[in-house]
Amino acid sequence: MAHIELRNITKKFGNHTALADLSLDIADGEFFVLLGETGAGKTTTLRLVAGLEKPTSGQVFIDGVDVADWGAAERDVALVLQQYSLYPRYTVRENLEFPLKPKIRRVPDAEIAERVARVAKTLRIEHLLDRKTDRLSGGEMQRVSIGRAIVRKPRVFLMDEPLSALDAKLREALRTELKNIQMNLGQTFLFVTHDQIEAMSMGDKVAVLNHGRIVQQGTPQEIYNNPRNTFVASFVGSPPMNLIDGKMSGEKAVIQPMSFELPLGGRGKASGANDRALTFGIRPEDLVIESGAPVEAKVHDVENHGVEKIVTLRVGELLLRATTPARTQLAIEDAVRFGWNADKVTLFDRGTGVSLRHSA
Amino acid sequence: MAAVQTTSERVLNRVAIVAVLVVTLIFLAPIYWIASTAFKPRNLATTIPPTVVFTPEISPFVKLMVRRSQMREQPSAEEYAAAPWWEQMVMDGGEKVVRDGKGEVQLSGYPNRFMNSLIVAITSTVLAVGMGTFTAYGFSRFKVKGEADLLFFILSTRMLPPVVVAIPMFLMYRAVGLNDTHWGLIILYTAFNLSFSVWLMKGFMDEIPKEYEEAALVDGYTRMQAFFKIVLPEAATGIAATAVFCFITAWNEYAFALIMTNRRAQTAPPFIPSQVGSGLPDWTVIAAGTLLFLLPVAIFTFLLRNHLLRGVTFGAIRK
């Protein structure tokens, strides 16, 4: 169990700045997700905590102790990677025993056997114990990798996209399983992913990373409902938030360049942003298709997702996504009317992309 | 294998098989000739036309191993009867085995030279492959300042034909007393092979995902333990391939062995042709010596053949 703090971390590789002045605070027992695109610096952050990289400047604290001089072994962390963390020449059992066998740990043989058995049971891989790891399926391999991590009872679990190499069904199953394991162990997890669904469904806290900087951190709900800027708004959520350029005029949003209007109700006056160039953000589920709504649009595309439909609406050049119940019957090129749920609109400054709620 | 073959493919296949057979025969012919000569009696070794059918005998190997001298006259019947069977074979050829004052058989120079070859080739292979593996690991895993330049420098030691430096090397060796010593040759051969070994092993090391060691590091192993427990087994194929190449180079080396050694540390390659000597050469003895000399490389390569097949593709078809 451990509390992890990164303080003003900068990491440069030659001329390339991978992380710029990054600070993180991960509470004990928290499932913390680092979310970002490829190259955003997620893996680098993880490797800094693991002690596989040294920061160019800044400090890493584990339980309040500066661990700058600690090697990977002394930090007592466990690492699960997307692939390659199992040794192909070893059996599953040998792979699970491996973390318990270094000289610095000196775990007695009986305890090793007992712990391996317990982990195998938890992960339901008992029948695989004597198999060579190159004869496992992707899901089994990843289970064993997770097993290798938990068998040691480390202070922190670091996971680098452990699920992204798996197929969709398995990913879903392991997602739940992993979250359950974390809750049962009550351990600190630092989980890196580019998949916002993983972040939203598993994380107690999520930090969104872009170009080596943390754009926003908070609970998944905060990030989803109140994105700090247009990057977060378009990155988190599937389908992403609709971003519409326009300006505010009294209690109405005037959308440019099509110049149709949508009501903003009380939001307009309160923000004090009259005539300012804005970007309006609205989640697909807050766009409403109904006959009495203010704006007319054509149905551009319909995606059927089973429980719901994602409808792409076209107004002039502008494409907007809305979710509707699966029952709604819509055909491409149908004329429909839509409006939005004015309370849920997020206002972004069009120049900086920052949410007005956050800059205020 | 292709399940369906057209007629033209089948014909092509036949032609290819015949071509492979012909090439194999061409390559094997000299080896066959060496082997057959090694078992011939001396008078059949150089007949024209060549003798193909003969009763094989091992007298060339006996002659190869012991010191012997020409006899002036035929041995007496008692003398012949008292000699062991292998000495009788030598006597049949008109020679007798030389004995020292205590009546013990004197060995020829060959067994010693053969041992020297083994000592020098094995030690230099172990050194070159060992150092090469560590060096390659360093280059592969750590940021080394001027890595490209250093690697090129290492390679550049192979750019001159080694014999170019033979005379300066000889003078230097004489000055420091390395002439005609095992270590002298071992150092030389290790130096030849090192650049090759570093480059080859670097390729293999780059193929091993560094995630393996990082996982071990995080699990509480030191860099050294991770190297020996994880990296080395993974690199076995590369090490085997590199070792075979280094061993063959060291085993076959002739020019430096000829210049740098003469007695104590002389290896087999310069010794075998020196047997041609003056007068009529005994080709059967030379063939016997050559045949024995071929064996260690053949055995070594045979033992490592599985690794070698994967290794000589230089990682091109792994994964």
What values do phi and psi take at A216, rounded to 5? Answer: -160, 145
Nearest to B225 among A75, A102, A105 (CB): A102
Residue B265 has pLDDT above 80, yes or no: yes
Q: For B126-153, what is the mean pLDDT?
A: 93
Rg, C-alpha atoms of chain A: 24
Q: Tell me whether domains A4-235 and A242-359 share a fold.
A: no
Distance between CA atoms of residues A280 and A345, nearest Å: 7
Who contacts A341 (Cβ-Cβ below 8 Å, separation ≥6)?
Answer: A282, A286, A287, A288
A224: confidence class by pLDDT, cuts 50, 70, 90: very high
- Name beta bridge partners: A346: A281
Write out residues 116-155 of A within 8 Å (CB-CB) of B.
Answer: 148, 152
Residues 64-123, chain A: which have Cβ within 8 Å of B?
71-73, 75-79, 81, 83-85, 87-89, 98-99, 102-105
Write out chain A residues lying below 8 Å of B212, CB-based. 84-85, 87
In this predicted structure, what is the pLDDT of residue B314?
52
Confidence of residue B319 (pLDDT cuts 50, 70, 90): very low
- What is the predicted pLDDT for the residue at A169? 83
Extract the tokens encoding A271.
Answer: 């923000």
Q: Is a pLDDT exceeding 90 seen at residue B104?
A: no
Q: What is the predicted pLDDT for the residue at A271?
A: 60
Q: What is the pLDDT of residue A1?
A: 64
Nearest to B219 among A81, A88, A102 (CB): A102
The answer to whether the Cβ–Cβ distance between A148 and B230 falls below 8 Å is no
According to the model, what pLDDT value does residue A266 have?
Answer: 66
The alpha carbon of residue A158 is apart from the nearest alpha carbon of chain B, in Å, by 10
Calpha distance B149→B76 (Å, rounded): 74
**Strands A31-36 and A188-193, how do they pair?**
parallel
- Which is more confidently placed, A58 or B75? A58
What are A8-23's pLDDT values in tens digits? Answer: 999 998 888 889 898 9
Question: For residue A308, what are the CA distances in angstroms to A197, A221, A298, A302?
Answer: 17, 21, 19, 10
The answer to whether the CB atoms of B233 and A71 lie below 8 A apart is: no
CATH 1.10.3720.10 for domain B110-311, yes or no, is: yes
pLDDT at B317: 43
Q: Shortest Cα distance from A50 to chain B (angstroms)? A: 7
Which pLDDT tens digit goes with each residue over A273-306?
A: 667 788 899 999 998 888 888 888 999 999 988 8
Phi, psi of B3 (to 5 degrees): -80, -40
| Closest to A21 (Cα-Cα) out of A52, A71, A56 | A56
**Separation in Å, CA B132 to CA A286, B151, B160:** 65, 12, 20
Q: Between the CA atoms of A26, A31, A32 and A34, what dihedral angle is there, to the nearest 10 degrees? A: 160
- Region B256-263: what's the mean pLDDT? 89
Provide the token pair at A244: 């519409």
Q: How far is CA A29 from CA A6, A26, A233, A240, in A?
A: 16, 9, 28, 30
Q: C-alpha distances in angstroms, A176 versus A173, A179, A237, A305?
A: 6, 5, 19, 21
Which pLDDT belongs to residue A242?
92
**SS3 (DSSP) at A337:** strand
Average pLDDT of the segment spanning A147-159: 88
Instruction: Identify the CA nearest to B241 among candidates B318, B158, B138, B145.
Output: B318
Q: Residue A268: its pLDDT value, please?
A: 58
Residue B49 is given by DSSP the state S
Task: Dig out the tokens for A60 from the structure.
Answer: 């890493």
Q: How far apart are the first and last CA of chain A?
A: 37
* Residue of B212, B221, B225 with shortest CB distance to A84: B212
Q: Residues of B with CB below 8 A from A94's CB?
A: none
- Average pLDDT taken over every residue of chain A: 87
Check if the interface score ipTM surpasses 0.90.
no
Is-contact B130 B194, C-beta < 8 A? no
Contact across the interface for B220 and A52, Cβ inside 8 Å: no
Who wins on pLDDT, B277 or A164?
A164
With respect to CATH, is domain A242-359 assigned 3.40.630.30?
no
pLDDT reading at B187 higher than 90: yes
How far apart are alpha carbons A47 and B52 in whole angstroms?
71
Helix (H, G, I), strand (E, B) or coil at B302: helix
- Asked if A67 and A60 touch (Cβ cutoff 8 Å), the reply is yes
Nearest-CA distance B214 → chain A (Å): 7
Torsional sign, CA A11, A16, A20, A23 = negative
B→A interface, C-beta within 8 Å: 209, 211-212, 214-222, 225, 230, 233-234
Residue B106 CB-half CA count within 13 A: 12
> What token pair was written down for B155?
């390679």
Are A105 and B220 within 8 A, CB to CB? yes
Homologous superfamily of the A4-235 domain (CATH)? P-loop containing nucleotide triphosphate hydrolases (3.40.50.300)
Sequence-distant (≥ 6) Cβ neighbours of residue A208 within 8 angstroms: A35, A36, A214, A215, A216, A217, A223, A231, A232, A235, A236
Residues 6+ apart with CB under 8 A from A77: A49, A50, A51, A154, A155, A156, A157, A158, B218
Q: What distance in Å separates the CA atoms of residue A32 and residue B14, rounded to the nearest whole number?
A: 65
DSSP A173: H
pLDDT of residue B312: 57
pLDDT value for B318: 44
- Please check whether residue A276 is in contact with residue A248, taking contact to mean a CB–CB distance below 8 angstroms: yes
pLDDT at B219 over 90: no
Q: Is the peptide bond before B161 cis (omega within 30 degrees of 0)?
A: no
pLDDT of residue A168: 83
Q: Worst-scoring range by mean pLDDT, B222-236, B254-268, B302-316?
A: B302-316
Q: Average pLDDT of B71-94?
A: 80
Is there a contact between A207 and A42 (Cβ–Cβ < 8 Å)? no
Tell me which DSSP letter residue B288 carries.
H
- The answer on pLDDT for A76 being more than 90 is no
Single-letter code of the amino acid located at A156: V
Q: Work out the average pLDDT over A177-188.
A: 87
Residue A348 parent element (H or E): strand A346-349
Q: What angle do CA B44, B47, B50 make, to 5 degrees?
A: 95
CB contact under 8 A, A98 and B225: no
What is d(CA A80, CA A182) in angstroms, rounded to the nearest whole number?
Answer: 14
Position A83 pLDDT exceeds 90: no
